[in-house]
Amino acid sequence: MRVGARIVRERIGSTLARHDTSVVAVLAQSDAIPYATTVLGVMRASYAAFPISVRNSPAAVAHLLYQAGVRHVLVGQEQSSWDLARDALDILRIQHPSAGVPTLSTLPVFEELYFQPSDNSSATNASIDFEYKGPDSPVLILHSSGSTAFPKPIFFTQYRLLQYLAIPWFGERDLTDTVYSVHGSPMYHAMGIFNLVLMIPCGVVSSYLPPQSPPPTPTPEMVIRAAKTTDCNIVIATPAFIESWSQDLETVRWLAGRDLVAVGGGPLDKDRGDYLASQGVPLWNAYGSTEAGTLSVFFPRKPLAEWEYYNFSRLMSTKLVPYDEGTFELIMVANERYQPCITNTTVDGVGAYATSDLLAPHPTIPGYWRTVGRADDQIMHSTGEKTNPGPLESILRQDSHVSACVMFGRGRFQAGILVDPKPEHRFCPSDEQKLAAFRNMIWPTIERMNEYAPQHSRLFKEMIVVSDPSKPFQYTAKGTVRRGAMIKEYEQEIAATYEKAEQSEQSDIPLPLRWDGDTAVEFVRTVIRKVMAHAINDDDDLFQHSCDSLQATWIRRTILRALRQSAQIDTRTIVDSFVYSNPSIARLASFIIKILGGASADESTIEQRLDAMTKMVAKYIEGFPPRQGRDAAIIPTGDVILLTGSTGSLGCHILARLVSCPDVKRVYALNRSSREGISLKERQKAALVERGLNANIADSDKLVLLEGNITSLAFGVQDETYQLVCAHFDAFMANTHVTWRVDFNISLQSFEDNVKGLRHLVDFALKSPLRDPPRFIFVSSAAVFQNARPDEPLFETPSKADYAVGTGYAESKWVSEQILYEAAARTLLDPMVVRVDQVTGGLDGSWNAHEWFPAMVQSALHLGCFPDDHRVVPWIPLDIAAAALVDFRKASNPTHTVHLAHPRPVSWDLLAEAVAAEFSVPLVPYAEWLSRLEKASPRSNHSHSPDNAPGVWIFMQPMTS
């Protein structure tokens, strides 16, 4: 701790004042031991420590930094944490320009803290003076989860932390020398911090995972192995981990021999908990919150056999307020021994904290309670993640077939939704055909919900429960659904839905110990035989052998379970239709191997992709609107530009160029609204600063910032605004369409919104009141030639579809080009397709760290090499590309296609040699580099995977062909 304090002082220097308590934040994915040592070192150095979760958005981190008055941030070694910190500071500068911006430095690593040179022992052990600033000075700050709004900082004073440390003294166990497994507790979480400070008052021995760089993500197998190795007496873990352990009989027997197995961070599945208790596992439900600490007795001498129930610590004063139908809301009331960190109500004039947790009493044992839900309707899953149902339900209620809906999923791995159809659409849900038809009817709206929802809150079609007319929905006087009553009313149907989902996984089929071509084929054969009740040949089409949709669902979920449990793949990103796209044993086995190797989860055949491309073109070239330009010529007084995507790298530079052009009268910059609620002007300024441009560009009188969506009619802006834009077409207008999702992993279908938006812009251009329609400049990509032969000339003409096939990004660009070519042939529109090659960083060298080349450069140290190649690099700097695009609006020679690339390309060898020299790594053939990358990829189950390997792997793998 003294070493940590000394290092913290050295990192910070003299930038922080000593007369007050300066706040030092920690933003890192570091493993537990150096993280914990640094947090203690910060406090020992007389500062307040503030661990911040790296799962927060940049806007949320900026909010926390400002609210807590952070003066310095210790950032982990990983690039993602540095990107998060810098993005947060950019937002902080814009939103609070008068506030001081925290300085940054690197979080100490394990070796710095524990491997000090022996000849420096005196300096290492030198005492760091501690300045006590009184009992009410903050010493530690944690933050809330931020599931319903921005997370809030929660301050622990010196006195409050002492009260926190007293919690185990009011327990029923002597914890001295007890070995306590906290291997799965993240250090930025209240549970992780409490487990850390627990060592101070009661002498418990905390067991952590060994230091490793980069730190691995804890898995159930990793945590239980570590707990066994250190022979822990007490194990505490999240419900998801404990549920996983319950599947292994040997692990259950080992857990039964522990003094206590504590579940915290969320509700445990009742069936799993009951099973563990029946096997003698001393299961205990740890109940508490960041704001109030651990409220249940910590720890009981012997937990109840009815493991869900707990009693409150004698340290606390609690009040249970009746809420609804046998449930009570818990309120923690301050007393002379213990006060909550936050008070939001009073009880008899005393400050108190209303937890919003709903509890139910034990039917026969007074003083014991179990948690049944949240007063604010927040759903806590078995993973510890939370779903805020309000905004998601609001989206579904907009569906014309839906009257009301209620999400459920407390204590479950995934969420579901109970839907009450409108009267004209109601039916008996026991009719499977009508149920399937209704699910299909509302599925487009569910997909919109899933786009908005966090990944853990997204819905599967099987998790849609439909109300029965014999059990109508109940509503309050306000007209809102009685949520708790309806979930209870449909308890059996909900349970049956989860049971059916679990049964469809065929969990009794043994998983392969290792994955290769042979074991994948054998596993799929077993699944098919089990599900379809008869054997078929490996190349037979499943659906020609009477495989129906329910059986396909069983097959899909069983394969997903196998990928989750034996290969640790996040299967929530895999498309639902992969069984239909790979309808044979051989193709499903091949699909599994590709997924394990890092391939895109939504691959399809070349023929299918080409067919999808041509169909999408046909869909969006129908019905171009007739021109309605004025007969009389309009004398232009300056150019009026509509620019989409102005907050991106290229968009920022185009905007800066346009604003500086004297012949440009007005620039309308159209961008999407922010989910975080940050205004477009703030985002535009932050984007400009990030690219090394002047933020004042966003204040230009020429610029009009519009928040909307080009996929919506009238762009989703107010009608008067839309009409105002139309009315300003008193001069030349250019549509420079640069807003495009740069993601090489998703399918063409996922780019359809971009294509749809392009068509809306075409129609908008054709509505211009000018005699001639405006020039439409579309930023395409050289990726439309990704399959062309290296020696083949690439002309500035429409290209072949098969040149672009392979990635949804390139396919969508090709589709868009064809739409514009057709528009030029059928209307008076004068579009220009600009195929841009790779664009590099701007004038300041700023290059998006998540693009393929920066990721490749960053991987050099991790892989110990850099790829060599003999091809040329026609890359063009960002500012020059923007200048060229702006100049193209004045092109006098009519042309529909332009290639934008460097006129004097350089050899890759020159770049590669410079990178290799900078990192002192050798150049190797591309195939060898790719092989090393594959071994380092997280999907290969190697423990030393570089943080940025997944991105590089996804970019590079297709190039092997």
pLDDT of residue 148: 45
pLDDT of residue 809: 86
The candidate with the shortest Cα–Cα distance to 647, out of 627, 621, 619, 673, is 673
Q: Report how far residue 769's alpha carbon sits from residue 775's, in angstroms, rounded to the nearest whole number.
A: 13
Question: What is the mean pLDDT of the segment spanning 797-811?
Answer: 89
The candidate with the shortest Cα–Cα distance to 942, out of 118, 71, 212, is 212
Question: What is the mean pLDDT of the segment spanning 169-174?
Answer: 90
Q: Report how far residue 733's alpha carbon sits from residue 670's, in angstroms, rounded to the nearest whole number.
A: 14
Question: What is the mean pLDDT of the segment spanning 434-449?
Answer: 92
- Look-up of token digits 């640069």: 738
Residues 6+ apart with CB under 8 A from 571: 560, 563, 564
Domain identity same for 153 and 170: no
Mean residue pLDDT of the chain comes to: 83
User: What would the pLDDT profile of 196-223 be if each residue is shown by its tens digit?
Assistant: 888 888 889 999 998 887 787 788 899 9
pLDDT of residue 951: 42
pLDDT of residue 117: 62
List, as one string, the DSSP characters of 620-666: HSS-PPPP---SSPPPPSSEEEEEE-TTSHHHHHHHHHHHH-TTEEE
Q: How far is CA 458 from the centre of its chain?
A: 12
Percent of the chain exceeding pLDDT 90 equals: 34
Tell whether 760 is covered by a domain: yes
What is the number of other CB atoms lying within 10 angstroms of the CB of residue 236?
A: 26
Domain identity same for 349 and 452: no
pLDDT-based confidence at residue 737 (cuts at 50, 70, 90): low
Tell whether 722 is covered by a domain: yes
As for how many domains the chain has, the answer is: 4
Amino acid at 662: P
Lowest mean pLDDT among 5-9, 632-636, 889-893: 632-636
Residue 630 and residue 621 in contact, taking contact as beta carbons nearer than 8 Å: no
pLDDT-based confidence at residue 480 (cuts at 50, 70, 90): low
230 compared with 152, residue with greater pLDDT: 230
Residue 62 and residue 89 in contact, taking contact as beta carbons nearer than 8 Å: yes
pLDDT-based confidence at residue 893 (cuts at 50, 70, 90): low
Q: How far is CA 32 from the centre of its chain?
A: 23
pLDDT of residue 732: 41
958 compared with 729, residue with greater pLDDT: 729
The runs of H, that is alpha helices, within 845-907 are 852-863, 878-888
Question: What is the mean pLDDT of the segment spanning 642-656?
Answer: 90
Confidence check: pLDDT of 954 > 70: no
Q: How far is CA 780 from the centre of its chain?
A: 28
Confidence check: pLDDT of 601 > 60: no
Last residue of a domain, one of 318, 349, 376: 376
Confidence check: pLDDT of 534 > 80: no
- DSSP β-ladder status, 733-737 and 639-644: parallel
Residue 919 and residue 860 in contact, taking contact as beta carbons nearer than 8 Å: yes
What is the number of other CB atoms lying within 10 angstroms of the CB of residue 817?
A: 24
User: What would the pLDDT profile of 738-791 be if each residue is shown by its tens digit?
Assistant: 567 565 645 677 678 889 999 998 988 888 777 777 788 999 999 899 888 777
Tell whether 266 is covered by a domain: yes
Domain identity same for 147 and 171: no
pLDDT of residue 738: 57
- Look-up of token digits 């400050």: 351
Q: Report how far residue 764's alpha carbon sits from residue 745's, in angstroms, rounded to the nearest whole number.
A: 31
Amino acid at 277: A
Q: Give how far Cα 579 sits from Cα of 123, 339, 536, 589, 750, Å.
A: 64, 56, 16, 11, 19
The candidate with the shortest Cα–Cα distance to 487, out of 410, 387, 396, 421, is 410
Q: Report how far residue 31's alpha carbon sits from residue 212's, in angstroms, rounded to the nearest whole number.
A: 7
Domain identity same for 642 and 758: yes
List, as one string, the DSSP characters of 266-295: SPPPHHHHHHHHHTT--EEE--EETTTEE-
Last residue of a domain, one of 376, 394, 410: 376
Q: Give the bridge partners for 360, in sequence order.
A: 370
Q: Report how far residue 531's alpha carbon sits from residue 543's, in angstroms, rounded to the nearest whole number.
A: 13
What Rg value do the Cα atoms of the chain yield, rounded?
A: 30
Q: Report how far residue 128's alpha carbon sits from residue 9's, in angstroms, rounded to the nearest whole number.
A: 9
Q: How far is CA 632 from the centre of its chain?
A: 53
Domain identity same for 684 and 768: yes
User: What would the pLDDT profile of 97-106 be if each residue is shown by its tens digit?
Assistant: 888 899 999 9
Confidence check: pLDDT of 908 > 70: yes
Tell whether 813 is covered by a domain: yes
The candidate with the shortest Cα–Cα distance to 50, out of 140, 116, 126, 132, is 140
Angle between helices 752-766 and 606-620 (to 10 degrees): 30
Percent of the chain exceeding pLDDT 70 equals: 85
Q: Is 77 helix (H, G, I), strand (E, B) or coil?
A: coil
List, as one string, the DSSP characters of 193-228: HHHHHTHHHH--EEE-PPP-SSPPPP-HHHHHHHHH
User: What would the pLDDT profile of 827-883 be if each residue is shown by its tens digit?
Assistant: 988 899 999 988 888 776 667 655 778 878 877 877 889 999 888 888 999 899 999
pLDDT-based confidence at residue 961 (cuts at 50, 70, 90): very low
pLDDT of residue 147: 45
Q: Report how far residue 232's alpha carbon sits from residue 255's, in angstroms, rounded to the nearest whole number.
A: 10
The candidate with the shortest Cα–Cα distance to 525, out of 513, 536, 517, is 536
The secondary structure of residue 867, as a DSSP letter, is E
Domain identity same for 208 and 250: yes
Residue 836 and residue 777 in contact, taking contact as beta carbons nearer than 8 Å: no
Tell whether 43 is covered by a domain: yes
Domain identity same for 240 and 114: no
The runs of H, that is alpha helices, within 26-174 are 32-44, 58-68, 79-95, 110-114, 121-124, 158-165
Domain identity same for 214 and 89: no
Domain identity same for 127 and 182: no
The secondary structure of residue 839, as a DSSP letter, is B
The candidate with the shortest Cα–Cα distance to 684, out of 720, 719, 643, 712, is 643
User: What would the pLDDT profile of 681-730 be if each residue is shown by its tens digit?
Assistant: 988 988 887 787 888 999 999 999 998 888 887 888 877 777 667 656 53
Q: Report how far residue 155's alpha carbon sits from residue 140's, in angstroms, rounded to the nearest whole number.
A: 6
Angle between helices 190-197 and 32-44 (to 10 degrees): 70
Last residue of a domain, one of 316, 345, 376: 376
Confidence check: pLDDT of 895 > 80: no
pLDDT-based confidence at residue 581 (cuts at 50, 70, 90): low
Q: Is 443 helix (H, G, I), strand (E, B) or coil?
A: helix
User: What would the pLDDT profile of 490-517 be if each residue is shown by its tens digit?
Assistant: 999 999 998 877 655 555 678 888 888 8
Cis peptide leading into residue 299 (ω within 30°)? yes
The candidate with the shortest Cα–Cα distance to 175, out of 310, 299, 258, 302, is 299
Q: Report how far residue 946's alpha carbon sits from residue 936's, in angstroms, rounded to the nearest whole number.
A: 7
Tell whether 513 is covered by a domain: no
Q: Report how far residue 731's alpha carbon sits from residue 1's, in angstroms, rounded to the nearest whole number.
A: 68
Tell whether 579 is covered by a domain: no
H/E run at residue 452: helix 432-452
Q: Report how far residue 319's alpha carbon sits from residue 352's, in angstroms, rounded to the nearest whole number.
A: 9
Q: How far is CA 711 from the centre of its chain?
A: 24
pLDDT-based confidence at residue 941 (cuts at 50, 70, 90): very low
CATH code where residue 460 lies: 3.30.300.30
Residues 6+ apart with CB under 8 A from 799: 784, 785, 814, 817
Assigned token pair, 386: 């939370």
User: What would the pLDDT profile of 127-146 be if each residue is shown by its tens digit?
Assistant: 677 788 888 889 999 988 65
pLDDT-based confidence at residue 526 (cuts at 50, 70, 90): very high
pLDDT-based confidence at residue 39 (cuts at 50, 70, 90): very high
Residue 142 and residue 194 in contact, taking contact as beta carbons nearer than 8 Å: no
Q: Report how far residue 587's alpha carbon sits from residue 583's, in angstroms, rounded to the nearest whole number.
A: 7
CATH code where residue 94 lies: 3.40.50.980
Residue 957 and residue 598 in contact, taking contact as beta carbons nearer than 8 Å: yes
Sign (positive/negative) of CA torsion 645, 646, 650, 655? positive
Lowest mean pLDDT among 275-289, 332-346, 861-875, 940-954: 940-954
The secondary structure of residue 386, as a DSSP letter, is E
Question: What is the mean pLDDT of the segment spanning 452-466?
Answer: 80
Tell whether 589 is covered by a domain: no
Q: What angle do CA 286, 287, 292 make, to 5 degrees?
A: 130
Domain identity same for 360 and 493: no
Q: What share of the chain is helix, strand, coil (3-state, %, to 5)?
A: 40, 15, 40
Residues 6+ apart with CB under 8 A from 2: 41, 44, 124, 125, 126, 127, 128
Q: Report how far residue 266's alpha carbon sits from residue 504's, in angstroms, rounded to the nearest whole number.
A: 25
Residue 418 and residue 486 in contact, taking contact as beta carbons nearer than 8 Å: yes
pLDDT-based confidence at residue 265 (cuts at 50, 70, 90): confident
Q: Give the bridge partners for 250, in sequence order.
A: none
Residues 6+ apart with CB under 8 A from 910: none
CATH code where residue 206 lies: 3.40.50.12780
User: What would the pLDDT profile of 347-372 be if each residue is shown by its tens digit?
Assistant: 988 999 999 888 989 888 889 999 88
Question: What is the mean pLDDT of the segment spanning 61-77?
Answer: 92
Domain identity same for 181 and 324: yes
What is the number of other CB atoms lying within 10 angstroms of the CB of residue 281?
A: 26
Query: What domain range includes position 490?
Result: 386-503
The candidate with the shortest Cα–Cα distance to 324, out of 292, 276, 358, 291, is 358
Residues 6+ apart with CB under 8 A from 938: 945, 949, 950
Residue 270 and residue 292 in contact, taking contact as beta carbons nearer than 8 Å: no
Domain identity same for 393 and 280: no
- Look-up of token digits 């049964």: 503
pLDDT of residue 949: 44
Confidence check: pLDDT of 955 > 60: no
